[in-house]
Structure 1
Amino acid sequence: MGHDHFQILPLILLTLLVSVEASPKSIEKEMAALVKFKESLNDTYGQLSSWIGEDFYKWKGVGCNNETGHVVKLDLGSIEGLGGQISPSLLDLKYLTYLDLSRNDFQGIPIPSFLGSLEQLIYLDLSFASFTGMVPPHLGNLSNLRHLDLSQNPYHNSWAADLYWLSGLSSLEYLNMDYVNISLATTHWLQTINMLPLLNELSLARCRLTNLPPSLLPSSNLTSLSVLVLSRNNFNSSVPQWLFNISTLVDLELDYCSVKSLYPHVASGNFCGFRKLGLAGNDIGGDISEVVRNLAGYTENSLEVLSLSSNRLSGQLPDSIGHFKKLRWISLDGNLITGPIPASVGELSNLNYLDLRQNNWEGYLWQNHLQGLAKLNIFMISSSLSSRKALVFNISYNWVPPFNLKLIAISHCDVGPKFPAWLESQTQLNEIYLTDLAISDTIPHWLWKLSSNIGTLDLSNNQLRGELPISSPFSTGTFVDLSSNRLEGPLPLLPNVSYLNLANNLFSGSIPAIDDIRVPKNDNIRTDCPNRLLD
């Protein structure tokens, strides 16, 4: 036994010596591989100008192991002007675990199949890099991969013949294939995904899927899934029960998927502590109070985003909406919700986005509806019962809001006759839409003081009167619509506006020279001038 031990020892020492001697050669080989890789690229702006000399561990985007010196990371995402070809010399980077080529411009070349031979990869991001063609199934050889992002933009045709290759990625935790056409896999996509037990986040938005299976058979292996994004596919079905049985799921996005119904799953209370529920742009009907009531029992202390816009929800919004103290985002626009807005909305102290447009609201909106919303940035509301201005704003003239909005959009409500003075404190406003509000006041001077920050100003279809200031410092590209009011006096000089609509007012005098107005080329001016302006 001891004799064998002494025979093996020289062999081990010899192996170590060979390894030490071979190491510089392998490092040189890796540097040569990087040089060849750079030569295959188009580096329009010289972003890789640091790739010179022998200290390649200092090169931009290159990461090396501190102990061995081997290249383990290429982080070249979002480098302006980078594109061209991808050299197979990358295969000489035997220890590469991280490769990010995202948000570059590879001008429609296919994803190289040889990337599937980089077997040490843990992280691969090729998103929004202008790849087209078939996703190579060779990527299924990357058994160590934990993060895979193949999402593209809608202008490049990227597609997958099937998804069976995903079954080889047993370590995968993150998968994003947004905008990749996987319609050929619509019958088996879920079966394949179900073979990835460590998957935590899955995004298959705009993938042309048409099949949302009613069940996971024989059983669900999605025991780690917390984020599921399937928006803008065309499922044309009800939301299946199995989605609400994934106990780890906290973010479900099925926006614009032709989803027909939530029942009986909402009614049976199967939600599991969601943080985000996105079901906008579907065909979901039923009573909004029942939806909120059933959500309350399971997500009252967790829900942060509730998106139910552009559906057919009806009934009255219940007071219990105020129990969702963590809500940051509510979008209920484009439904058939009726009655008054509950005052409990004002208890949602974390809310920064509130969209209640295009519903059949009635009654009064008081300042206590808004008093507790200190974090509110975006506020949008309108009533579809515009013929009788069924929603009336009853807010004190001297009220100072606790928030500072960036966007306000109010239409088809009774806000007038005075211009809402509480907006004077909203110094961060970039977009203002105050249309058809029965305001018969003059435009206050303080509004023009805000104009340098304003990108959109729409005060159309009111009864605003008085004269406009001769000039106002709108920023370049501003959209201005003051049409269908009772404004009078000379036409103003509004420098830098890209859209100007002053139609259906009572202006008089002469039209300013176009050079004085300084409207950018190919943009729009609309005045519908009466004859007295043309004399």
Structure 2
Amino acid sequence: MVLKLVLVLLLFHHVVIANSSYSSQKQYPSCPDEDKSALLQFKDSFIIDKSASRSTDAYPKFSSWKPAEGGNSTCCSWEGVKCDEKTGHMIGLDLGQVPSELSQLSKLTYLNVALNLDRLSEDKDHPLSEEENYTLLKLEASDLGSLVQNLTSLKLLSLSYVNVSSAIPHSMANLSSLTTLYLRGCHLFGEFPVRIFQLPNLEFRSVRYNQELTRYFPEFKQSSPLILLKVGFTGFFGTIPSSIQNLDSLQNLDVAQCNFSEGLVPSSLGNLRQLTYLDISNNKFGGPIPDSLANLTNWLLLRLVRVD
């Protein structure tokens, strides 16, 4: 609880007064009541200590989020909130920056500054074209390595929909305690470091919606505890190696709309008896869908559509 409080204080330490995205004379659309309610609940989830900042001008943008008397206010007029001009639905949040001072918290084990839109959009892994409509939180520096270089005790790192706009540093593979890595929609580019696949405790990894992020799958070891592996809507390419059957704890595999274009869909997928979610759609695998997939009886979602 103390670490979470410190994190919140640091997140807003560098948030300063900024000009509103809209003119005060602008006619705002009326946002749905459910969006307004969700934003107010999101605001109430934070604890702000004003004495934490040295600047008298510093304040969280959501201090302007207040329902007007009579219930006639629209959340589209609140600072940092972006709405669709036609529907009035909230489509973006800009709450400031993520300060590099977080790297000084060497004992931090839980870092979650992801933009969580589950309540508003039900975030059902929407297509990248929709994700790009969001105004994102941003790192203060483009170097992700400067943020995590000293956080060697991290078990969870979630920066989903935070605008990182950098390559993934190889030093992230030194986070040997990491169990959860969520970097969805972070504008990452370059090659995904192969050593991150070899982290001994990593159970959940999602780097979806990073079109400029590339890599081929390595050979998978039997010792891997992976439960969730999502690389959909990225530049991952090559084949799915037959050694994927070694991931015997894997429940969720998503490689949708990547550049996998070599070889067959491996029959070894049929050996992943824990698998409940498989999406290999919109790739260019050759040959038929393997009969072995009929061995998997725990399906919640299965997408196999192929683009020729």
Pick the TM interval, shorter chain.
0.5 to 0.7
Do the aligned residues in 2 keep the contact of 1:285 with 1:314 (CA within 8 Å)? Answer: no
Do the aligned residues in 1 keep the contact of 2:113 with 2:159 (CA within 8 Å)? Answer: yes
The superposition leaves residues 323-344 of structure 1 with CA deviations (integer Å, 9 ceiling, x where unpaired) of 1001010010001212311000
**What corresponds to 2:100 in structure 1?**
190
Which one has the bigger strand percentage?
1
Q: Choose from 197, 222, 236 the match for 1:313.
A: 236
TM-score, normalization: structure 1?
A: 0.37
Deviation at 1:246, TM superposition (A): 1.6
**What corresponds to 2:201 in structure 1?**
273
Deviation at 1:195, TM superposition (A): 3.4
Q: Choose from 337, 341, 357 the match for 2:265.
A: 341
Q: Secondary structure at the match of 1:252?
A: strand
Q: Secondary structure at the match of 1:345?
A: helix
Q: Choose from 165, 168, 180 the match for 1:239.
A: 168
The superposition leaves residues 295-338 of structure 1 with CA deviations (integer Å, 9 ceiling, x where unpaired) of x24x8431000000001222221111111001010010001212
| Matched length | 222
- Mapping of 1:207-356 within 5 angstroms? 207-210=136-139, 211-216=141-146, 220=150, 222-263=151-192, 265-266=193-194, 271-284=199-212, 286=214, 288=216, 291-293=217-219, 296-297=220-221, 300-338=223-261, 339-356=263-280
Deviation at 1:283, TM superposition (A): 2.5
Q: Secondary structure at the match of 1:306?
A: strand
Deviation at 1:278, TM superposition (A): 0.6
1:374 aligns with 2:302: no
Deviation at 1:369, TM superposition (A): 2.5
Q: Secondary structure at the match of 1:256?
A: coil
Residues of 1 paired with 2:39 and 2:106: CA distance?
23
Structure 1 residue ranges (4+ consecutive) displaced by more than 4 angstroms after TM superposition: 155-159, 267-270, 284-287
Deviation at 1:366, TM superposition (A): 3.3
Name the aligned partner's letter for residue 202 of structure 1.
L
Q: Secondary structure at the match of 1:375?
A: coil
TM-score, normalization: structure 2?
A: 0.61
Deviation at 1:270, TM superposition (A): 5.6
Name the aligned partner's letter for residue 328 of structure 1.
Q
The superposition leaves residues 354-380 of structure 1 with CA deviations (integer Å, 9 ceiling, x where unpaired) of 111101122112322331x23222111
For the structure 1 residues 280 and 130, does the alpha-carbon distance in structure 2 shift closer, same or farther, using more than 3 Å as the test? closer
Deviation at 1:242, TM superposition (A): 3.0
Residues of 2 paired with 1:139 and 1:232: CA distance?
29
Q: Secondary structure at the match of 1:370?
A: helix
- CA-atom RMSD in angstroms: 3.6
**What corresponds to 1:138 in structure 2?**
50
> Which structure has the bigger radius of gyration?
1
Identity of aligned residues (%): 19
**What corresponds to 1:203 in structure 2?**
112
- Mapping of 1:26-105 within 5 angstroms? none
For the structure 1 residues 127 and 214, does the alpha-carbon distance in structure 2 shift closer, same or farther, using more than 3 Å as the test? same
Residues of 1 paired with 2:148 and 2:255: CA distance?
37
The superposition leaves residues 103-138 of structure 1 with CA deviations (integer Å, 9 ceiling, x where unpaired) of xx9x78xxxxxxxxxxxxxxxxx9861539x97443
Name the aligned partner's letter for residue 211 of structure 2.
D
Residues of 2 paired with 1:314 and 1:366: CA distance?
20
Q: Secondary structure at the match of 1:238?
A: coil
**What corresponds to 2:27 in structure 1?**
none
Do the aligned residues in 2 keep the contact of 1:342 with 1:369 (CA within 8 Å)? Answer: no
Question: Unaligned regions of 5+ residues in structure 2, if any?
Answer: 1-33, 54-61, 66-74, 81-91, 116-135
For the structure 1 residues 321 and 284, does the alpha-carbon distance in structure 2 shift closer, same or farther, using more than 3 Å as the test? farther
Residues of 2 paired with 1:230 and 1:238: CA distance?
14
For the structure 1 residues 283 and 158, does the alpha-carbon distance in structure 2 shift closer, same or farther, using more than 3 Å as the test? same
Name the aligned partner's letter for residue 201 of structure 1.
Y
Residues of 2 paired with 1:239 and 1:334: CA distance?
21
Name the aligned partner's letter for residue 331 of structure 1.
D
For the structure 1 residues 360 and 241, does the alpha-carbon distance in structure 2 shift closer, same or farther, using more than 3 Å as the test? same
Question: Unaligned regions of 5+ residues in structure 1, if any?
Answer: 1-104, 109-125, 142-149, 160-178, 386-535
Deviation at 1:218, TM superposition (A): 11
For the structure 1 residues 271 and 254, does the alpha-carbon distance in structure 2 shift closer, same or farther, using more than 3 Å as the test? same
Q: Secondary structure at the match of 1:258?
A: coil
Deviation at 1:203, TM superposition (A): 1.5
1:362 aligns with 2:299: no
Residues of 2 paired with 1:237 and 1:217: CA distance?
12
For the structure 1 residues 311 and 378, does the alpha-carbon distance in structure 2 shift closer, same or farther, using more than 3 Å as the test? same
- Flag the structure with more relative contact order, 1 or 2, with Cα contacts below 8 A and sequence separation at least 6: 2
**What corresponds to 2:86 in structure 1?**
none
Do the aligned residues in 2 keep the contact of 1:300 with 1:325 (CA within 8 Å)? Answer: no
For the structure 1 residues 267 and 129, does the alpha-carbon distance in structure 2 shift closer, same or farther, using more than 3 Å as the test? closer
Q: Secondary structure at the match of 2:177?
A: coil
